[in-house]
A = this chain, B = another copy of it.
Amino acid sequence: MARIDPSITPAAETAAAAGDLQAMSVDFFVSFVQVFGLPKSIGQIYGLLFVSAEPLPMDDIVGRLGISKGSASQGLALLKSLGAVTSRSVPADRREHFEADLNVSRIVTHFFENRLQPRLEHGDRRLEEMMELARAAKRETKGGGATAVLTRIQALQKWQKRGRNLLPMVVRWLKR
């Protein structure tokens, strides 16, 4: 059952076909996670686990991908927190073994809820404040461009609202 020798750094493997598949998967997921601004290592690890027939321990991951123990540890921690990877225990082996969970929506939802939502909310508050200042400016100055700015901010608020409505729809659609 011994896996490929992890000391051989990159991907010098048994069957060329298997190696290619792994490389492609890694590649695919690296570019996938990068869309969401996640570090490359996340994609590498997930890509490797995705095509692996059985769960892998951390040193296999380190060995096969040629990344550091630190990266692997941190990457796996994030992936677990996303629910994208689960650890499974293997009979006569003390080490934690990892397995890819195929739930794309978890990753995407995490992105929405952690990157987008907070920004949208923070944006809301700032828009309110801007509105306030703009109104004050309008009162104080005579004609000026103050009114024009006010109108713009209002338009922005409408967009903001649109965005906030759209997001949950998208999330819901992805979940089923």
Contacts and interface: CB of A to CB of B under 8 A. Distances in A.
Interface string A1-20: 00000000000000101101
Given A126-B27, A174-B166, A133 B21 contact: yes
Contacts of A18: 137
A133 B22 CA distance: 10
Contacts of A24: 126, 129-130, 133
- At the interface, is chain A mostly helix, strand, loop or mixed? helix
B17 A137 contact: yes
A173 B159 CA distance: 12
Contacts of A102: 152, 155-156
Nearest to A160: B104
Interface of A: 15, 17-18, 20-21, 24-25, 27-28, 31-32, 35, 37, 50-54, 100, 102, 104, 115-116, 119, 122-123, 126-127, 129-130, 133-134, 136-137, 140, 144-146, 148-149, 152, 155-156, 159, 162, 166, 170, 173-174
Given A28-B127, A35-B119, 9 more contacts: A15-B140, A21-B149, A24-B129, A24-B133, A25-B130, A27-B126, A31-B119, A35-B115, A53-B146
